Each structure stands twice: as C-alpha cells, then as structure tokens.
Amino acid sequence: MDGQVSMPTQVWSPITIGHVTARNRLYLPTHWVLPVATPAYGDYLAARARGGSGLIFASGPTSHPTTANPMAPDGWTKEWVPGFKTVVDAVHAEGSPIFVQLAHTGAPALPPTYTIDTWGPLWSPTPLRSPNQWTVPKALEEDDIADYIRTFADTAANVQDTGADGIEVHGAHGYLLSAFLSPFWNRREDGYGGDTAGRTRIIRELAAAVRKRCGQDFVIGLKMNSQDYHGEQGMRPDEAVRVIELLNETGLIDFYSIAHVDYHTFHRLMAPQSSGETASVEMGATAAKKAAGKVPILMQGAIRTVAKAEELIRGEAADMVGLCRVQIADPEIINKSREGKLDEVRRCVGQNQGCVRRIGMGVNCTVNPLAGREGVWGPRASNNDKTAQRTVLVIGGGPGGMKCAETAALKGDKVILLERGNMLGGQVNVAAKLPDYKAWGYLPDDLGGQLRRLGVDIRLNEEATADSALAIEADEIVVATGSSWLTDGFCALGQPGDPMPPRMDRPALDPISVINDPALCGQNVVIIDDVGDYTPLGIARMLKTEGKNVTVVTADYAVGRKLHANNDFEWLYPRVLREEIAIRTMSVLHSVEAGQAFIRNRATGELDGMLADTIVTCMLRKSNDALFLELKDRGANVTRIGDCLAPREVDDAVLEGFRHAASA
C-alpha cells in the first residue's frame, strides 16, 4: 500500500472555485452510472460525498435533441428538474458541492443516441467519418450552432433550478465541442474554425450565454483535452495552453478540467491496470496550470491513490485531483486515507469489467457489488442485528465465497469459511500470476483482510464433505466451490462433419495446471482460445518467456475478443505481436496425433497441421456442484453461488455472494 496521507497536507486543504468552496481537493469525476434524476443516482453520489469526496460531478441531462440518451432526460424541458433536485439535495446533505456535466457527444456518439425515436445524423464541426459509428456526420451550420447554444443555455438554467452549484461544459474526448477545439477535427473555413480564436468561438459564445442566464455566482467550468494523440495536427499541450490563455481573457471560465484522448485512442482514457499508466494527463495539466493563473486546474486519469493525488498537487500539476474508479470500488477511500486506514481500502483491480465495459448500460464493479445499489442493498448489507445472529457455513474461499462470508459477518452472523487450499482467492490467485495481471491479487488480499477484521472463522486446508458440513450444524450452508476447466476440446463452432470433441491421442492440459507449472508443456504449444479473455494470451506470453514456440488458435475472427470492451486489447495485443506469438483466427481444433495438431479453417474449410507437443484448452468449464447436490438431497438448507451455479466471471460470483448474504 502507498504511504499514509493522514496528517494535514495540501490534499486536505479547502479550495474555492468561483463562488463555491470544496472542503478538500479530491473530487468524483463524471461517469455514467445510472439514469440521472433518480433516487438511485442520488444514493450513489451521496455515498461518495459521505466517503469524503470534496466535490461531486454528476452526469447531467442531454443538452440538445441531437444528442439524445435514454439514461438522461431532455435538459431544455422542466419535467426532470424536481427529480434531479433530490440528487442535488442528497449530495449537499453530505457536505459536498455538486457540478453537473453537460455534453453533446457529437460524431463519436455513444450507442444510446441511436434510438428509434431520435434517429438522425450525428453532428460535428466537419463532415469527417465518425471514429466509432461508421457514419459521416452533418457539419454544423451557423443556424445549428445558434440553436445549440440557446438549448444549452436553457439546460444550464434548469440545472441551476435544481440547486446545483455549477456546470462542467464537456469539451473533451472528441465530442462535439472537443472537435471544435481540435485542429485535427475542425477543418472549417468560417469564423468557427481556423486559428485558436476561431476554434474557441463556440465555447466563448456558449459560456457567455450561460453566464447571462445564470449569473455570476453559478460556476462554469470547461473539460478539455490537452492531448488527443493525433500528433502535430491534433490537440497538444501547447495548443491547450493557447486555448486557456484565450478563454481566460473572457473571464467566463471558473475552472478547467484537463483530459485527453478521443475515440481513436479511447483505450488510454480509462486505462486498465495492464497498461501501467498512471496520472495520464500530468504533463498536460502541469502546462495548463501555468497558463491558467488563478483559475483552478482539475485533473483525473488513472490516479489510484490519495497519496498520488497529494504528489500531483504538491508538484503543481493541478489544484484538484479526480479519483473515479477507485471511488466506485470503495466510496470510503478518501475517509480511510485521511484516517490512516489504508489497509482497509478496497482497491480497484483496474480490469474495467464492471465499469468501462458497461458504459451506457449502468455501471457495476468487480470488487464492489453495492455500486449503484446503495439505496436498495446498503441497509440490508450492514444491519448488524446481533439478536438474529445465525451460523453460516461458506464452503469455498474464492471471490464469491469470500464476499458472501464478509457480507454475512457485517450483518452480525457467525461465519465459518472452509477452503480446501492453503490460501483464499481461488482461481483469481492464478490469474494474478499472468503477465501484467498482478492487480487481480488485490481482491483476495483485501477481502481476506476484511474477513480477519470481522472475526470470520477461516479454516484453510480443509476440504468439506457432506458429513463434515452437516456436522457443523449451521443454520445455512452456502456452497461456492467454483468450477473446473474441461480439456476435451469441445467447440460449438466446429465444422459440420468433423469430430467434436476432436480426436486427441494425448490429454490436453487445463489453464490452471499450466499457469501453476509451465514446465508441464513441451517445446511446441498450441493454445485453444474459446473464451475471448486474457487467459489464453496470458498463458502464451508466459510460455514464450520460457522459450516455447506458441500458437493461439481461436474460432473467432480475433483472439481476446472480450478485451476490447474493457480497453485491454489495445495494450496487450501489441505485446503479443512483439513477442512473436503466432495467431490463427477463424480456426478450430480438428484432431491431435503423432505430434501434430490439425486445424480446420472455418472460412475456407482447409485442414493443415502444426507441430504440437502440448495442447492447452482455454474452453469450457464445469461447475463443481457435486457437494451442493448431495447436501440438497440430504435436506440441508443449502445454496450455491458463483461458478458452482454456472461458470461465469468474477463479477458474477462476487455479486451473487453479496446479494445472497444481504438477502438472507
């Protein structure tokens, strides 16, 4: 863990932005979690304010009909104001001011923009193809710009009516206003393009319209890129400085929130742990701070600890620092850091499975299933009613079993946790051995520490049987015995007429065995990827460092298909290529004989062989449910969770462990 930041330091000092004062210099950045203007969203934000966040940024309503979003109401109407006022009031009640982000997503519109009732052309300063929607947007005409500014100002005035303290104008990530600011995207030849003054004109006019409607006490901030990675043609720190200097002359902007990337480089925006990125915009923020003078500079981006935030503020990279994913994972991280309770922080594992992968669908969290469910599940998960104490036996010390044990203990139950191995964590411990995936180890480490603090009776090296489980005489038994990998090579996408499972003249190896002991593999290894996650690629990289010849075969059109959605693919796949790992796509294993693996190409039907001393199958898993079924047959009060119910992901196991214990 990072060094403690519990003494009074710069990060704990108050800061004034416009006419608003925040109690410290840490904030919760905007991120899509839940439909706005709902009690659930208020509960979510209030939990982070209560956890110590000095300033809360909320996702706001839409600012124009051309950027419709089912998760947000139409901001220029009045119907949503009372509902959103409850969100604002919930945050204020916890002692934090709240700014509301207003955005137009422009050419890289998120998928929710395309609904049956709002279908239409995307908007952009210039008709260049959308980087992610495969369509050419409409270039805004001056009438469109005037209409947008008018609607935006109406929306800002409605935000003010909710009691919010200010707005953040979204001018980053390649969205509409960001595209106007960028020399790469803005190729206009009228007064809204050309030099920096032309490209900032829409921002100046928009901010002036909001100031006229909302007055001097309402905060107006701008979120803007300092870098979009388009080289000399794009937004760079020196150009961002010119933008700030020009906007500062107007006196309209109360803060700048420094960001980076557009949708060509989206994997850098919420970089996974595998990236090694930290404080992604530090250079751009530092330059911006020098240019901004007394106007506060805010920054966020892969900042994972309060200690790092303190370092950035001391180093004059920013006046405030945003902590996003770490506050999703642990809403109390700021309070815990201030109190010196760093060993109690529930760390973000940085895999982006519950948050980034679910953008636009409602956020979740691998390590914190309460995220987004605070109002419904929070009271149930911590009632600590000792008068109704039960004895709960949890069998299996993987993530699901650990979370179930923790939640039951928080409710006041006496919990016994049996684990047949010599450590808690299950298959997550194995995943943490793969290259660049060490952070998976945070999950069992943090949960294990919490179980010990709660006094859970942890019994390692104890394999449960039906007789031993029943002998404990628990009020309830929860079976979380996980799953096992199958090695028969069965693939549902095999060629009609080919044997399935494939014929193999020697046993294949499962991923767990290989990760734990790479020496089991011969010189020529073929890995079958039927899961689309990092497991086969991680094993391939591990074996390559051992000097093996490795080929990864997948029936899909690309290896690691699931890695795109959590921003991992663009970081990891180049490493796979540099390490000269062979890839065969659109292919299935036909048979293995005489030291060769025969591979069928699904597209051409061709069959060819390759040297293969060892086959590793990253394919189907089977639930380890025999103990559950026996206990059920013997009339026990028993439940199964996680992979024991159906082999899925860590997120599912943790959620089910939490939900079951919270509901019991």
Q: What angle do CA 291, 292, 296 make, to 5 degrees?
A: 145
User: Identity (one letter) of the amino acid at 644?
Assistant: C
Q: What is the pLDDT of residue 119?
A: 73
- 13 in Cβ contact with 19 (< 8 Å): no
- pLDDT tens digits for 129-185? 988 888 899 999 999 999 999 999 999 999 999 999 999 999 999 999 999 999 999
The bridge status of strand 297-299 relative to strand 255-259 is parallel
Kindly tell me if the per-residue pLDDT of 4 is higher than 50: no
Q: Quickly tell me which residue has 């010599």 as its tokens.
A: 422
Q: What is the pLDDT of residue 134?
A: 82
Q: How many CB atoms lie within 10 A of CB 51?
A: 18
Tell me the pLDDT band of 571, cut-offs 50, 70 and 90.
Answer: very high
From residue 43, give the alpha-carbon distance in Å to each of 47, 126, 212, 374, 481.
6, 40, 32, 6, 34
Kindly tell me if the per-residue pLDDT of 6 is higher than 60: no
- pLDDT tens digits for 353-404? 988 887 777 778 999 999 999 998 887 666 666 566 899 999 999 999 999 9
- 309 in Cβ contact with 317 (< 8 Å): no
Q: What is the pLDDT of residue 114?
A: 53
Percent of residues, the chain, with pLDDT higher than 90: 84
Token output for 601: 């190409």
Q: What is the pLDDT of residue 224?
A: 98
Q: Is 254 exposed, middle or buried (0-12, 13-18, 19+ CB in 10 A)?
A: buried
Kindly tell me if the per-residue pLDDT of 549 is higher than 80: yes
Q: What is the pLDDT of residue 496?
A: 85
Instruction: Report pTM.
Output: 0.95
Token output for 172: 């980053």
| CA 300 – CA 285 distance, rounded (Å) | 9
- pLDDT tens digits for 632-645? 999 999 999 999 99
H or E element at residue 88: helix 81-92
| CA 145 – CA 202 distance, rounded (Å) | 8
Adjacent-strand bridge partners of 85:
none
Q: What is the pLDDT of residue 118?
A: 65
Which residues are within 8 A (CB) of 177 and not within 5 positions of it... i.e. 6 or more apart?
A: 104, 106, 169, 170, 171, 202, 203, 206
| CA 285 – CA 262 distance, rounded (Å) | 17
| CA 225 – CA 236 distance, rounded (Å) | 8
Show the domains of the chain with their CATH numbers: 10-25+55-81+97-324 (3.20.20.70), 384-484+623-663 (3.40.50.720), 487-619 (3.50.50.60)
Q: How many CA atoms lie within 13 A of 614 on its CB side?
A: 22
Q: What is the pLDDT of residue 383?
A: 66
Average per-residue pLDDT in the chain? 94
| CA 157 – CA 364 distance, rounded (Å) | 31
Q: What is the pLDDT of residue 483?
A: 98
| CA 656 – CA 92 distance, rounded (Å) | 33
In 3D, which of 98, 99, 89, 62 has the Cα closest to residue 77?
Answer: 62
User: Identity (one letter) of the amino acid at 396?
Assistant: G
| CA 599 – CA 595 distance, rounded (Å) | 13
Q: DSSP states of 513-579 as a string?
A: HHHH-GGGS-SEEEEEE-S-SHHHHHHHHHHHHTT-EEEEEESSSSTTGGGTTTT-HHHHHHHHHHT
Give the distance between the most distant pair of CA atoms in the chain. Answer: 82
Q: How many CB atoms lie within 10 A of CB 516?
A: 11
Q: Quickly tell me which residue has 């108050």 as its tokens.
A: 14
DSSP 509: B
Tell me the pLDDT band of 61, cut-offs 50, 70 and 90.
Answer: very high
Classify 415 as helix, strand or coil: strand
The bridge status of strand 549-554 relative to strand 607-611 is unpaired
Instruction: Please state the φ and ψ torsions of residue 197, each to the nearest 5 degrees.
Output: -60, -40
| For residues 532-539, average pLDDT | 96
Kindly tell me if the per-residue pLDDT of 273 is higher than 80: yes
Q: What is the pLDDT of residue 116?
A: 58
Kindly tell me if the per-residue pLDDT of 8 is higher than 50: no
- 395 in Cβ contact with 420 (< 8 Å): no
| For residues 239-249, average pLDDT | 98
Token output for 532: 């689309």
Which residues are within 8 A (CB) of 454 and not within 5 positions of it... i.e. 6 or more apart?
A: 406, 409, 410, 415
Q: What is the pLDDT of residue 661?
A: 96
User: Identity (one letter) of the amino acid at 182?
Assistant: S
Inter-helix orientation angle 81-92/39-50, to 10°: 20
Kindly tell me if the per-residue pLDDT of 3 is higher than 50: no
